[in-house]
Chain A
Amino acid sequence: MSPRLVKSEAVVEGRTEERWSLVEDDHTPEYPDGPSPAPIGVAAQRLTAHARLTGSARYTSDIQLPGMLQAAILRSPFANARLTAIDAAAARAVPGVRAVLTPADGFAPGGSAVLTDAPAYAGAPVAAVAADDRDALAAGLAALAPEYEELPFVAGIDEALGRQDFTADPSEYERGDPDAGMREAAASVSLELRAPAQMHNCMESHCAVAAWQGDELTTWISTQGMFAIQAELADAFDLDLERVRVICEYMGGGFGSKDQAGAEGLLAAGLARITSRPVSVVLSRREENLDAGYRAPAQFTLEVGAAADGTLTAIDASAVIGMGRGGWTPPALEPVKSVYRCANVRAAVLPVRQNIGSPRAFRAPGVMEGVWALENAIDELAAALDIDPLELRRRNHADGDQATGRPYSSKNLLACYDRAAELAGWADRDSLKADGGRIRRGMGCASQIWWGGGGPPAYAEARIGKDGRPVLSVGMQDLGTGTITACAIIAAERLGVPVEDVRVHAGDTRLAGHGPFSGGSMTLASMAPAVRAAAHEVREQLLALASDRFEIAAGDLTLEEGEIRSVDGTLREPLTEVTGKLANAWIRGGGSRGPNPSGIAVNTFGCQIAQVAVDTVTGMVTVERVVAVHDVGRIVNPMGARSQVMGGILQGIGFALTEERVVDPTTGTSVNPGLEDYKVPTIADLPEVVCEFVNVPDPRLPTGVRGLGEPPIVPTAGAIGNALAQALGVRLHEAPYTPRRVLEALGG
């Protein structure tokens, strides 16, 4: 059969994208029913461990090239201003300064200006300098001596909403008759909730190094989407795609914020072209927190009604999203439409414009804070109805995607509830409240929904040579989640070799065909089938060669533990008995991700239960224990999967307890762009975590794998909020739950 093109849908953080997908002949068998064949599902150490633990892993900011210049960006200190003077000539005259760009130079690769003389947020790029070293760079930046005329600005969601200035048209979703549903309700609750701006604070800031050779551009960049950057740079500098190489071998976290070339990438390439020297741009921590995105703050209004038996009759919700100058509106009310069965829903989203940098996707953007808001309301409703909160959730289980009417490919949320309740001791939760002394305890739950089905295109190539060590080339980057190790596990199963024998090449657009953006929990669900198919092609050829060599039918041979074995046990020869004859020849295989099934919604689910302790004198909240049970399809590496859950829970704890960008209303600028005042969780904030997976392979997806990057952050803050409400007997309506807010809620 010759290849054919089909359309396939993939959901990327709530946006359904239609993609053409080339369907190739693929004879790779699916996994057998029952437990995953080893090493799938067996805890494996990270293949990147040695490099990352010895300092030999080279991250973008470690790249040092001969003649490389350091560049930096001059940014506006004002929330809104007009640049009235800047001394480019003085900066150019500084010894060691090699290039200066100001707005007058019209640097606008791809048509949009990178530098502005009308900076409309603090941190907006105004000028850039490239110099021989940091000292010359600092002197050059100082010599620019910019002068500004300050202009009025808009800071805060309330003021922005009052101006009715939107970054995108407000949207209103409606199904059924929410007003009639609310009239039918035996009980209803109404809540207003405020979610903070949460900053990514990847430990590695945004950075890029660019070098030109003739009209070919190589860019090292800390990115979650090297192919997207390749396309962006090719467009910006009017180059053929193949003339742009993007490399991101090791990356220090992204969490959604590293999805574009950014000013740093465009300026590195632009300044490198102007100076004919390699250029490095590394953002400072403060730049990072001014101009590299954040989880958009939101004000939620929710009214939820239910019949006496708990059946939801209506949800009426609105979310005012605190955007910056523009950017993508996060799907903050998606959970309202999808988590629970409800025929009558209204959901209005109003993205308002402020004089602040724009938000970017942050781990489960929109959905995490939307679930936090919805789950607070559902718990209030449970109290109003006097129904156990978990039981209320069970009663409103949604069997299919209600917005589209599509069935789910696989959903085991009820099993998650049951197991989480058992592990948490939910039945005894009321006994936690105990004596009403200084320390009060509570337990709360929340549900998780997210996408994570992945989709085409994703390519992998596998090969094996005389040493019998498979090499895998994949068109993806590993932002630290462990996808490289997961790919090795999948290949190792087909090739019957130890996982650590698989060498994985990733993080370079020249290695293999297009691969997924490492976001939307798409990576492994996209890559796994491609890797499996590539490895399977190699396996088939190995078995055919072994069949000739040992005169045993290929169907009677298998590959296990680095050996070729006959199924009857009479033959056990090392793999090198066959590969050793290859000399400099290779056995090669290629694989690609096929299309997604049509007419099916692919989602991930889960439940977390948090136990908190509150000191009613200091107002300090401690998360003591979190039980997490997630339904994300087949688990490839249980150790890596647990680590993803730990990471999501800790960032959820940060959102719930300590993390909040604070904007000074008198200046419109963030007062905590550093890690001294913006508090991310530390090792002292680590709770006991009990983590399990349903581990039911998705029957509608090749390999049965769904994504896991985002799911674990989704329910954490909601579970903490509900636990806190149980502990205190009063609900806090604004996160993070700081000591001040706790004490205020207690009337202190």
Chain B
Amino acid sequence: MSVRVEVNSQEHVVDVPEEWTLAALLRDRLGLTGTKVACGEGTCGSCTVVLDGRPVLSCLTLAAAVDGAAVRTVEDGSPLLERLREAFTETDGFQCGFCTPGQLMSALALLERDPSPGRAEIIAAMSGNLCRCGAYEGIRQAVERAAGATA
């Protein structure tokens, strides 16, 4: 099956089996291994990417479903994502970093949708992204900080 997809502003036409997920397309076809699969069943948020502006679980999204769509991953170079990276660094919003690509993508989708979210909105938007190291305080502060810089 041929899928035409824009990933981080680059056009790709890739041939993948029909049952493949978006996560597999990104990691195994395009070599974009920044996106992490930690549960493979949509329960942890690690594999979150931004699909046409919405945060989606790439482990549950079929590759076929992204034909003609635009996907952004942790490898993206957009200024807002760069601001989030700086904020996560300043607030120590990660430890092992395995859930971090998903955290960044959920935060990116939130701030694009709502440039100045309140704390409750941040917690709601980020509560599907598990972090076993417990970096949540830094994560929340980072999103607040990046939002402040945006506003």
Interface of A toward B, CB cutoff 8 Å:
45-46, 48-59, 61-62, 64, 134-135, 200-205, 250-253, 255, 284-285, 479-482, 639-640, 642-643, 646-651, 674-676, 680-686, 689
- Option from B28, B100, B133, B140 in Cβ contact (under 8 Å) with A53: B100
- Option from A51, A62, A646 in Cβ contact (under 8 Å) with B134: A646
Cβ of B12 under 8 Å from chain A: no
Ordered nearest first, which 9 A-B pairs have the shortest CB separation? A55-B34, A480-B96, A252-B98, A52-B97, A650-B134, A647-B134, A62-B33, A55-B74, A675-B43
**11 pairs, A vs B, C-beta closer than 8 Å:** A45-B89, A53-B74, A57-B97, A64-B33, A203-B38, A250-B97, A252-B38, A252-B97, A481-B95, A640-B92, A683-B131
Instruction: Please provide the chain B residues from 6 to 49 with a CB less than 8 Å away from any CB of chain A in the complex.
Output: 17, 24, 27-28, 31-41, 43-44, 46
Q: CA A528 – CA B139 in complex, angstroms?
A: 29
Interface of B is mostly: loop
Knowing A55-B101, A252-B97 are in contact, say whether A646-B137 is a contact too (CB < 8 A).
yes
A204 x B139 contact (CB < 8 A) = no
Q: CA A479 – CA B138 in complex, angstroms?
A: 18
Q: How far is the CB of A249 from chain B (nearest CB, A)?
A: 12
B40 x A284 contact (CB < 8 A) = yes
A54 x B127 contact (CB < 8 A) = no
Q: Which of A58, A59, A255, A647 has the most CB of B within 10 A?
A: A647
B74 x A647 contact (CB < 8 A) = no
Knowing A54-B74, A204-B96, A643-B138 are in contact, say whether A59-B43 is a contact too (CB < 8 A).
no
- Option from B28, B75, B134 in Cβ contact (under 8 Å) with A55: B75
Cβ of B149 under 8 Å from chain A: no
A650 x B96 contact (CB < 8 A) = no
List of B residues within 8 angstroms of A203 by Cβ: 36, 38, 44, 46, 96, 98-99, 130-133
- Option from A46, A50, A200, A683 in Cβ contact (under 8 Å) with B126: A683
Knowing A53-B97, A252-B97, A480-B96 are in contact, say whether A681-B40 is a contact too (CB < 8 A).
no
Q: How far is the CB of A166 from chain B (nearest CB, A)?
A: 32
Cβ of B4 under 8 Å from chain A: no
List of A residues within 8 angstroms of B46 by Cβ: 203
B92 x A285 contact (CB < 8 A) = no
List of B residues within 8 angstroms of A61 by Cβ: 36-37
Q: How far is the CB of B87 from chain A (nearest CB, A)?
A: 10
Q: CA A659 – CA B140 in complex, angstroms?
A: 23
Q: CA A56 – CA B134 in complex, angstroms?
A: 22
Q: Which of B32, B36, B92, B123 has the most CB of A within 10 A?
A: B92
A204 x B36 contact (CB < 8 A) = yes
Cβ of B146 under 8 Å from chain A: no
- Option from B39, B101, B126, B139 in Cβ contact (under 8 Å) with A675: B39
B96 x A252 contact (CB < 8 A) = yes
Knowing A202-B132, A643-B135 are in contact, say whether A285-B41 is a contact too (CB < 8 A).
yes
List of A residues within 8 angstroms of B54 by Cβ: none
Q: How far is the CB of B122 from chain A (nearest CB, A)?
A: 8
Q: Which residue of B lies closest to A134 (CB)?
A: B24
Q: Which of A61, A640, A648 has the most CB of B within 10 A?
A: A61
Knowing A252-B98, A682-B127, A684-B123 are in contact, say whether A56-B34 is a contact too (CB < 8 A).
yes
Q: Which residue of B lies closest to A678 (CB)?
A: B43
Q: CA A55 – CA B34 in complex, angstroms?
A: 4
B138 x A255 contact (CB < 8 A) = no
List of B residues within 8 angstroms of A54 by Cβ: 34, 74-75, 85
A55 x B127 contact (CB < 8 A) = no
